[in-house]
Amino acid sequence: MPTALSISNLNKVYDGGLQALTDVSLEIRKGEIFALLGPNGAGKTTLISAVCGIVSPTSGSIKVNGNDAAKNFRAARAAIGLVPQEISTDMFEPVQSTVAFSRGLFGRAPDPKHIEKVLRQTALWEKRKDRIMTLSGGMKRRVMIAKALAHEPEILFLDEPTAGVDVELRRSMWDVVRELRRSGVTIILTTHYIEEAEEMADRIGVISNGKLIVVEDKTTLMQKLGRKRLSLQLQEHLEQLPGELETWPLELAGDGWELHYDFDANAEDSGVPALLNKISGLGISFKDLNTSQSSLEEIFVGLVNKN
């Protein structure tokens, strides 16, 4: 798949000496949805800002559609749309004119039909003449999305796009993002909602302390790093684990009515058959069992803590 964005050995040290990015290299494929996860202060926004031209990198290179972001900034920036984390727009402006302003700023000729399309897409058409200050928080956030889409970008950065947005609207936004992807737009999003990444992303990157620690296909990541849990619902209550089971990574839960066994789903020997034999041999019977996969959130927390 062709590359939309190529970042090589990117470093950013702020004036105060804070190293926000350390040797970050990343390739974003055309047409994919890439989710960048990381705790607060990990470097997500700095990375996006460096690509978009808001922050000057200390070293390294950024290429957008093969155009160097520093040397050929016009071509690079014209291809990018950015929805920033903060709602930053002139609150006294009417919705329609602020979206039209963004299109012009990015060098595109006025196109009222496209502006109308974007405003309809983001459910703002009815509010097009209203001043932004009169809109609700969710609507203001949609104005930011509409502004970013006004110049028909090929790559769209969404920095925490659904922060502070209600559940219904969040899901509607996900639909828009999926549609944009279907139309060929490459999407890079940062989010605190792991569910959002799990729901939408093709690939996931995890950044921590300015370092990109993992970049992987979502399904591969979940398979590779995912832990499985075997849960046994016991017939009889246990006060404590029998001594014979102390060497096993078991946890007694549910006030003694449940046994949890965590295992590596990809390991050649998961240990499940041996455990079941052992339990049976000890005369412990169970009425039900089930297995569950770790969520992306658990994987993410595990990765960040490990780092």
Partner 1 sequence: MTIHSNVTKPPPTQPVRFNRHGVWAIYKFEMARALRTLWQSFLAPVISTALYFVVFGSAIGSRMEAIDGTSYGSYIVPGLIMLSVLTQSVSNGSFSIFMPQFSGTIYELLSAPISAFEAVLAYVGAAATKSVVLGLIILGTASLIVPVEIQHPLWMLGFLVLTSVAFSLFGFILGIWGQTFEQLQFVPSLILTPLTFLGGSFYSIDMLPPFWRTVTLFNPVLYLISGFRWSFFGTSDLGVGWSLLMTSLFLLVCLAIVSWMFKTGYRLRS
Binding site for partner 1 (CB under 8 A): 14-15, 49, 52-56, 65, 67, 72-80, 82, 84, 86, 88-90, 92-93, 97, 100-110, 117, 120-123, 142, 147, 152-154, 168-169, 172-173, 175-176, 178-180, 182-185
CB of 225 to partner 1, least distance (A): 32
CB of 24 to partner 1, least distance (A): 16
Query: What does the alpha-carbon distance between residue 233 and residue 20 come to, in Å, rounded to a whole number?
Result: 47
In the complex with partner 1, the residue whose CB is nearer, 58 or 270, is: 58
Per the DSSP assignment, residues forming a β-bridge with 36 are 190, 205
In the complex with partner 1, the residue whose CB is nearer, 45 or 294, is: 45
In the complex with partner 1, the residue whose CB is nearer, 22 or 67, is: 67
Please list the alpha-helical segments (H only) found in the chain.
Answer: 44-52, 73-78, 95-105, 112-121, 137-149, 167-182, 194-200, 218-225, 272-281, 296-306
Q: 3-class SS at 172?
A: helix
CA distances from 284 to 75, 241, 248, 250, 251 (A): 68, 11, 15, 14, 15
In the complex with partner 1, the residue whose CB is nearer, 75 or 241, is: 75
Which one, of 302, 304, 142, 152, lies nearest residue 225 by Cα?
Answer: 302
| Chain centroid to CA 301 | 14
In the complex with partner 1, the residue whose CB is nearer, 83 or 214, is: 83
Number of Cβ atoms within 10 Å of the Cβ of 46: 22
CB of 190 to partner 1, least distance (A): 15
In the complex with partner 1, the residue whose CB is nearer, 132 or 259, is: 132
CB of 53 to partner 1, least distance (A): 5
CA distances from 156 to 64, 135, 190, 238 (A): 12, 24, 11, 55
CB of 296 to partner 1, least distance (A): 24
In the complex with partner 1, the residue whose CB is nearer, 174 or 263, is: 174
Query: What does the alpha-carbon distance between residue 176 and residue 109 come to, in Å, rounded to a whole number?
Result: 24
- CB-based contact 81:149 (threshold 8 Å): yes
Query: What does the alpha-carbon distance between residue 145 and residue 82 come to, in Å, rounded to a whole number?
Result: 8
In the complex with partner 1, the residue whose CB is nearer, 124 or 221, is: 124
| Token pair belonging to 167 | 């559940």
* Residues found in the chain: 307
CB of 274 to partner 1, least distance (A): 50
CB of 32 to partner 1, least distance (A): 15
CB of 185 to partner 1, least distance (A): 6
CB of 285 to partner 1, least distance (A): 52
DSSP code for 175: H
In the complex with partner 1, the residue whose CB is nearer, 49 or 190, is: 49
